[in-house]
Amino acid sequence: MSHDDRTALELDDVCAAYGPYRALFAVSFSVEKGSAIALLGPNGAGKSTVARVVSGLLPASSGHVRVGGSDVTGKAPWAIARMGLSHVPEGRGVFDSLSVEENLVLSFRRRAGRRNLAASLERAYARFPLLAERRHDRAGTLSGGQQRLVSLAKVLVVPPGVLVADELSLGLAPSVVDDVYAALADVRRRGTTLVVVEQQVDRALGLASSAVVLEHGSVAYFGPASGARAVMAQVLERRSRSDGANSL
């Protein structure tokens, strides 16, 4: 896959495994700078594995990952983060014993500097009023969905060059999911490239201009978002037929 200056992220024949279990098979796709791509597929298709490989949490067993044209294959997560890629993983990702505000302060001081700390906190609380209400509570007392808002606020207030958002809607009330996707649309308008890993197909495709559909760790579709829904339906139908056959 050839690189050009408009490309923010690309995967070129990436394979990955968890021990003896092969999880990704020659995955290739690219994302243009400032665009949003939806990474779709049924449970177990490899979506979160792609997110982990891109951010360096799981090494690729072969192939290449490039961020802004630079090969980051095999680099440590902190090195990839320093190159402008942030990963908000499925799950919580907060310091349980610190308050909500202390979690945010730690991140904003590092990302925006001490001088911009107050303004960063103000933007975070304006975007997610729930965090303002709970600012003095220990982060460990928040629900899983609320903890995900803390993780998301850390990167949305000071947006990275590339944001990999992994299953952000899991465990969140629909009204909060609305807030999350409004925030994602806002950071995209400000120039951040988005990779949105999502089970809620309509949510992801409403934000994205392109899409990748994964099936059994391989790319079943890579193209305009408008073509992904039909492919997803086919993939889910095949999964349903397979599950039905296995239950006989």
pLDDT in tens, 20-47: 999 999 999 999 999 999 999 999 999 9
Average pLDDT over residues 73-85: 93
**Contacts for 49 with CB less than 8 Å, ≥ 6 apart:** 16, 18, 23, 24, 58, 217
What is the reported pLDDT for 28? 98
Q: What is the DSSP string of 122-188?
A: HHHHHH-HHHHHTTTSBGGGS-HHHHHHHHHHHHHSS--SEEEEESTTTT--HHHHHHHHHHHHHHH
- Of residues 94 and 79, more confidently modeled: 79
Asked whether residue 114 carries a pLDDT value surpassing 90, the answer given is no
| Fold of the 7-94+160-246 domain | Rossmann fold (3.40.50)
What rounded mean pLDDT belongs to the chain? 90
Cβ-in-10-Å burial (0-12, 13-18, 19+) of 59 comes to middle
- Structure tokens, 237: 């139908």
Asked whether residue 2 carries a pLDDT value surpassing 60, the answer given is no
Write the DSSP symbol of residue 55. Answer: T
Asked whether residue 175 carries a pLDDT value surpassing 90, the answer given is no
- Give strand pairing partners of 24: 16
| pTM reported for the whole predicted model | 0.87
Digit-coded pLDDT (tens) for 10-23: 999 999 999 999 99
